[in-house]
Structure 1
Amino acid sequence: MKKIYIIHENKEWTAPLIKELEALGLPYEDWFLNEGVLDLSQTPPEGVFYNRMSASSHTRGHRFAPEYTASVLAWLEAHNRKVINTSNALKLEISKVAQYASLNAHGIKTPRTVAAIGKEQIIEAAKSFKGSFITKHNRAGKGLGVQLFHSIESLKEYVYGDNFEISIDGITLIQQYIKAPTPHITRCEFIGGKFVYAVQVNTSEGFQLCPADVCQIGDAFCPVGESETSKFKIIDGFEDPIIEKYSKFLNTNGINIAGIEFITDEDGTIYTYDVNTNTNYNKDAEAKGKISGMGTIAKYLGNELILIK
């Protein structure tokens, strides 16, 4: 029997989707790809394969889950299986350098970014920036490794100090700091390649901005959930020409489901800085906006399953 297969490494993030699939009576199977055995002589089962692998898997002890998933996706695609968020989507999920290169190729403005490997190289790269700048991990998720600096001296103290945190792939990004008129960013959600809604996120308390309700556990910089201090708010009737550019970018890269984040500077210029192909949703914000991201995904996957001959 054909099914919906969920490829992931975090059961907490997948639970809301499974709840929606079960409510619709859709057949599914959970593929937890932290480790496993892949026999290339075997033929994959029939169905729809939804890739939810995360760039931050290593923070949960699943260091090689993305690499294993890349192998599984290559196997599925070689057999022409329907993959939601293809191997190319995974490539962009685990590399911001790849993200920015593709965004720029689609005429989407990103903050000036320099990639560096090595502590001395990080310092030298930062010297080419005027004014404040930030550092971040190339393979991250949840805003891992994001630090704001106003001088080279403060960067040196961090890089050569005990608190320096290196990206799991060894690549540190030095990026232009974009000053917004208010402490907010905007996240645009797409399902089936179509724009669903935009959410405003308050960044005043930190950079780690995972919308999933479970992220608030033990994470002071992910202030989400059902409390009155929730930092996520769905924007009513959001419209902007950037949406069309995002849609074309996603379609070209084989990304069916994603959240794309941007920040607007004091002159009104939009800078896109993150593409999350393992997007999560904030329950409280969705309840107020009367919309369900996971519910919409479940229906989309169900429709794709029907199309499988």
Structure 2
Amino acid sequence: MKPDLAVLYEHPQWFIPLWAALDRHGIAYEAIRLSDHSFDPASRDIPAPVVLSRVAMSSFLRETQHGIFYAQSLYDHWAANGATVLNGADVIAIDSSKARQLSLISRLGYAIPETRIVHRREDLLAAARTMRWPLMVKANIGGSGAGITRYATEEELAQSVKDGTVPDSVDSVLLVQDYVPPRGGVITRVETLAGKFLYAIEVESGGDNFDLCPADACAVTRGPIRMAAVQPPAAIVEAAERIAQATGLAVGGVEYLIDDRDGVARFYDINALSNFVAKPLDVLGWDPHDRLVEHLKAAIEEAR
């Protein structure tokens, strides 16, 4: 007998709170590890009526043979054979491309950091000459702050290109982006569920530390970071919800910062993998995993 829910995951420790919440609510589920998975494209079998993606774009940091593009193909296969896939192939296509994220956000009418997209390292300098300094070079597929380097001058970037030390991306797409000084030294991540505001966390940005994931598992290697629950202005909440809905996020975060130079809120990241905040009862006063499970229950009922 098939379970009601299948969860495809990559990181072995990140989802212990999710498994606990599913057990607490009595949901029959199968946890499927991505790293050793395979599928038959001629098979019409699906693991469960509802599938939840918990695949991190940072998976390439942990396994050279990462499964990002494999998961996209797998989700498309399962969906074509009748599964309801939450954060499926179309969402991964956006989650795995900062270029697509910024294009989507801009089309919706919201401010982003000034950015140029290239696909060759040797084109970085030409793109940078149309922008102001300092700037950053970012990998199109990142995660946990990976593949981001700040450059103060053209000479510094030129030397990095010459030395072959500029960031790389697993899809060979790079971003040249304005370094936006965050007001108050903080960024804000707005978490959404079913396209609606769930909560927001303000995270302290420490200089050139771009790994600002609020989950416990993300903090292990770099020490604690300051974070606090906040209530963004209504216009920001509405913007985050529109971005999440346009992306098709079942659950996920939208990040922004306030540009200290002009006070403009600039959105810069869409993240379909929400580990949720560390110690949610201390930070939020409630556990968002319970609300996620309620959403999964509704999806399961609809799929029956």
Q: Secondary structure at the match of 2:203?
A: strand
Amino acid of the structure 2 residue aligned with 1:116: V
- Comparing 50-59 and 35-44, the one that deviates more: 35-44
Taking structure 1 as reference, are residues 110 and 19 closer, same or farther at Cα in structure 2, changes over 3 Å only?
same
Query: TM-score, length-normalised on structure 2?
Result: 0.92
Q: Which residue does the alignment assign to 1:209?
A: 212
- Comparing 90-99 and 296-305, the one that deviates more: 296-305
- 2: CA distance between counterparts of 1:260 and 1:249? 8
Q: CA deviation at 1:285?
A: 5.3
Q: CA deviation at 1:163?
A: 4.1
- 1: CA distance between counterparts of 2:191 and 2:217? 19
The yes-or-no answer on 1:234 pairing with 2:237 is no
Q: CA deviation at 1:62?
A: 5.3
Contact map agreement 2:183 2:257 (CA 8 A) in 1: no
The yes-or-no answer on 1:268 pairing with 2:263 is yes
Stretches of structure 2 lacking an aligned partner (at least 5 in a row)? none
Amino acid of the structure 2 residue aligned with 1:94: S
Q: CA deviation at 1:22?
A: 0.9
Q: What CA deviation, in whole Å up to 9, does each residue of 1:155-190 have, x standing for no partner?
A: 123333364331222222100121223110010000
Q: Which residue does the alignment assign to 1:227?
A: none
Taking structure 1 as reference, are residues 55 and 45 closer, same or farther at Cα in structure 2, changes over 3 Å only?
closer
Q: Which residue does the alignment assign to 2:21?
A: 20
Contact map agreement 1:136 1:143 (CA 8 A) in 2: no
The yes-or-no answer on 1:102 pairing with 2:104 is yes
Match among 163, 166, 183 for residue 164 of structure 1: 166
Match among 300, 305, 308 for residue 303 of structure 2: 308
Q: Which residue does the alignment assign to 1:4?
A: 5
- 2: CA distance between counterparts of 1:62 and 1:29? 26
Contact map agreement 1:233 1:285 (CA 8 A) in 2: no
Q: CA deviation at 1:286?
A: 4.5
Aligned residue runs from structure 1 range 62-81, under 5 A = 63-81=65-83
Match among 297, 300, 303 for residue 292 of structure 2: 297
Q: What CA deviation, in whole Å up to 9, does each residue of 1:101-125 have, x standing for no partner?
A: 1111111221111112333211221
- 2: CA distance between counterparts of 1:249 and 1:176? 21
Q: Secondary structure at the match of 1:259?
A: strand
- 2: CA distance between counterparts of 1:15 and 1:285? 14
Aligned-pair identity (%): 24
Q: CA deviation at 1:99?
A: 0.8
Q: CA deviation at 1:47?
A: 2.0
Q: CA deviation at 1:26?
A: 0.9
Q: CA deviation at 1:38?
A: 1.3
Q: What CA deviation, in whole Å up to 9, does each residue of 1:204-257 have, x standing for no partner?
A: 25111122212223x22xx44xxxxx422111x433313223323322332111
Q: Secondary structure at the match of 2:175?
A: strand
Q: Which residue does the alignment assign to 1:282?
A: 277
Contact map agreement 2:51 2:86 (CA 8 A) in 1: yes
Contact map agreement 1:197 1:234 (CA 8 A) in 2: yes
Match among 241, 248, 261 for residue 254 of structure 1: 248
Contact map agreement 1:232 1:285 (CA 8 A) in 2: no
Contact map agreement 1:70 1:87 (CA 8 A) in 2: yes
Taking structure 1 as reference, are residues 234 and 285 closer, same or farther at Cα in structure 2, changes over 3 Å only?
farther
Q: Which residue does the alignment assign to 1:115?
A: 117
Aligned residue runs from structure 1 range 165-204, under 5 A = 165-204=167-206
Contact map agreement 1:200 1:232 (CA 8 A) in 2: yes
- 2: CA distance between counterparts of 1:252 and 1:162? 37
- 2: CA distance between counterparts of 1:254 and 1:288? 27
Query: TM-score, length-normalised on structure 1?
Result: 0.91
Amino acid of the structure 2 residue aligned with 1:295: D
Say what the alpha-carbon RMSD is for the aligned residues.
Answer: 1.8
